[in-house]
Amino acid sequence: MDKEEYRELIINQMTELGIYQKQYDLLIDTMAMTCELRDRNLVEWEKAGFEMVIEYTNKAGATNISKSPFFLNNLQFNEQILKYGKELGLSPSATKKLGNPLAEAKDDFDEFMKDYD
């Protein structure tokens, strides 16, 4: 997906939760761009064989093992996406803190057990 598709998805999710406000657009754009960059990184990482470590030869000619830059980028992108999601109220804990009734919905088992308490 591209940035605009992610942006639309995020706004739709926030609208469904009743928490979307125009003031969040800058943060939404940043999160959407980060999602797109993560996807591009994953495509390149897949082409490189999803290697988590790579051999690196320094200027002196010594070969060392180093973490793949694709792996490191992926970790960083995912961390940023999780932070943006929390800020926008898209995580379960953030939704609950906002008092959204969808977060407090009970399942059928809870309703069933309530009659027997």
50-76 pLDDT, tens digit each: 999 999 899 999 999 999 999 999 999
pLDDT band of 91, cuts 50, 70, 90: confident
Measured CA to CA, the distance from residue 113 to residue 117 in angstroms comes to 7
Q: Region of 18 please: left (phi>0), alpha (psi -120 to 50) or beta.
A: left
- pLDDT for 116 equals 54
Q: Please say if the pLDDT value at position 102 is more than 70.
A: no
Q: Please say if the pLDDT value at position 25 is more than 60.
A: yes
Alpha carbon of 102 to those of 17, 32, 92, 94: distances in Å? Answer: 7, 24, 10, 12
Assessment of whether the complete model's pTM goes beyond 0.95: no
Report the percentage of the chain scoring pLDDT > 70: 83
